[in-house]
């Protein structure tokens, strides 16, 4: 009997010392498990004199019930404690302000292209789309390039094969539109504009990229002259840069215009070239069956990147392609 009492005292002390339900499980196994201390006592019964066996058996059974009860009580305490600890650890402070959702914004080039588009639509141009993967026939062929013109050199284009290349200029749309005129799908007069990506095999630097954007616009009607071109580009420049802006036209050569000019605007005491322009070469009109005695047209093509570069003081156009948020988030939302 003394051993049973000792066992009980020991069990009670151990149960009280348990700091977690896991420790309690281990104690339970040591006393009540198959190979536990209670089982060992019961197995001793056989070695006792028969008259002692019932009392001993009863004492051991009572001891087991007692241990079970202590275990239950202690388990309930420990479970409450552990739940409280978990709740504390996983606590969510619902009074903290939430994570702000950053408003999406438009890319500075998109902002610029929207303004360019609005200005030209305001001047009566209809915007059309053209493919970025273009055929040599439209990118160069239809545009009156002499056979050996250096601009057609492989160096300047990304050739895809079978006469296909990534368009190097949005002027490539002209041949497609003139074909529509020839097919009777469009009628003169025309006032067409296109804006989009162009690609050139370039040595990339702060002002030249392999991928950039252009806007082209052209008009064909009876009696279209350089005066219309200059008036249109002057008005466009005012809409984009303000009433005070000055424009400059200087002679330049492009195979698809005659005469050809480069177009610049006044900027910070100097001039900034935006692109090229001129009267559509009569050869092109004639190639598509348009009577160049009766009809004439002007065309211009401008780089887009230059515009936000000078408006926002950006000195490297590669920033437009890098998609670095530190750069992109500096622009107005709209």
- Binding residue count for ligand FA5, defined by CB under 6 A: 23
Query: Which listed range, 24-32, 79-87, 132-140, 275-283, lies at the site for ligand FA5 (CB under 6 A)?
Result: 275-283
Nearer to ligand FA5, 68 or 273 (CB): 273
Positions in 213-242 near ligand FA5 (CB under 6 A): 214, 216
Query: Does residue 273 interact with ligand FA5 by CB under 6 A?
Result: yes
Binder to ligand FA5 among 275, 279, 314, 320 (CB under 6 A)? 275
> Rounded to whole angstroms, how far apart are CA atoms 130 and 132?
7
Residue 247 binds ligand FA5 (CB under 6 A): no
The residue (of 36 and 267) whose beta carbon lies closer to ligand FA5 is 267
Strands 159-161 and 126-127: what pairing? unpaired
| Choices 116-124, 129-137, 283-291, 303-311 (CB under 6 A): range interacting with ligand FA5 | 303-311
Contacts of 201 (CB under 8 A, 6+ apart): 154, 155, 156, 157, 158, 210
Torsion-angle region of 3 (φ positive above 0: left; ψ -120 to 50: alpha; else: beta): alpha
Q: Determine contact, residues 232/298, Cβ cutoff 8 Å.
A: yes
Check binding of 132 to ligand FA5 (CB under 6 A): no
Cα–Cα distance measured from residue 224 to residue 211, given in angstroms and rounded to the nearest whole number: 33
Q: What is the smallest separation between the CB atom of 239 and ligand FA5, expressed in angstroms?
A: 18
Nearest to 189 by CA among 318, 290, 67: 290
Largest CA distance in the chain: 138
Please identify the residue of the shown chain whose CB is closest to the bound ligand FA5: 303
| Residue 248 beta carbon to ligand FA5: minimum distance, rounded to whole angstroms | 13
Looking at the DSSP assignment, which residues form a beta bridge with residue 220?
190, 297
Q: C-beta of 179: minimal distance to ligand FA5 in Å? A: 18
User: Per rule CB under 6 A, is residue 14 in the interface with ligand FA5?
Assistant: no
300 binds ligand FA5 (CB under 6 A): yes
Nearest to 174 by CA among 151, 145, 199: 145
Shortest CB 211 distance to ligand FA5, Å: 8
CA gap 285, 193 in Å, rounded: 17
CB closer to ligand FA5 out of 67 and 142: 142
Which of 7, 257, 265, 285 is in the footprint of ligand FA5 by CB under 6 A?
A: 257
Q: Give the DSSP letter of residue 22.
A: H
Distance in angstroms (rounded) separating the CA atoms of residues 29 and 257? 97
Stretch that binds ligand FA5, among 13-21, 112-120, 121-129, 269-277 (CB under 6 A): 269-277
Reading phi first (left if > 0) and then psi (alpha if -120 to 50, else beta), residue 157 is in: beta
| Cβ atoms 173, 130 nearer than 8 A | yes
**Contact residues for ligand FA5 (CB under 6 A)?**
169, 171, 200, 202, 208-209, 212, 214, 216, 254, 257, 273, 275-278, 299-303, 305-306
């Amino acid at each position: 009997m003394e051993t049973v009492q000792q066992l009980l005292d020991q069990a009670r002390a151990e149960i009280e010392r348990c700091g977690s339900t896991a420790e309690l499980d281990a104690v339970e196994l040591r006393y009540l498990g198959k190979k536990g201390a209670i089982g060992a006592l019961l197995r001793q019964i056989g070695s006792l004199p028969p008259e002692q066996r019932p009392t001993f058996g009863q004492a051991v059974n009572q001891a087991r019930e007692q241990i079970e009860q202590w275990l239950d009580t202690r388990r309930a305490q420990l479970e409450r404690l552990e739940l409280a600890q978990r709740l504390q650890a996983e606590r969510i402070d619902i009074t903290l302000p939430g994570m702000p959702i950053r408003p999406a914004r438009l890319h500075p080039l998109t902002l610029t292209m929207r303004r360019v588009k609005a200005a030209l639509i305001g001047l009566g141009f209809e915007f059309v789309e053209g493919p970025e993967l273009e055929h040599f026939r439209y990118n160069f062929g239809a545009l009156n390039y002499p056979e050996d013109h250096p601009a057609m050199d492989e160096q300047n284009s990304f050739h895809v094969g079978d006469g296909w290349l990534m368009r190097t200029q949005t002027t490539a749309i002209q041949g497609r539109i003139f074909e529509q005129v020839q097919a009777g799908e469009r009628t003169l007069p025309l006032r067409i504009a296109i804006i989009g990506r162009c690609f050139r095999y370039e040595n990339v630097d702060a002002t030249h990229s392999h991928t950039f954007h252009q806007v082209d616009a052209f008009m064909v009607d009876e009696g279209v002259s350089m005066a219309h071109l200059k008036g249109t580009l002057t008005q466009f420049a005012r809409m984009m840069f303000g009433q005070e802006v000055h424009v400059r036209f200087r002679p330049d050569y492009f195979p698809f215009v005659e005469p050809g000019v480069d177009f610049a605007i006044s900027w910070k005491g100097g001039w900034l070239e935006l692109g090229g322009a001129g009267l559509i070469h009569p050869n092109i009109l004639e190639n598509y069956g348009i009577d160049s005695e009766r009809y004439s047209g002007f065309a211009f093509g401008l780089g887009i990147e230059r515009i936000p570069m000078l408006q926002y003081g950006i000195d490297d156009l590669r920033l437009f392609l890098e998609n670095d948020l530190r750069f992109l988030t500096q622009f107005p939302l709209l």
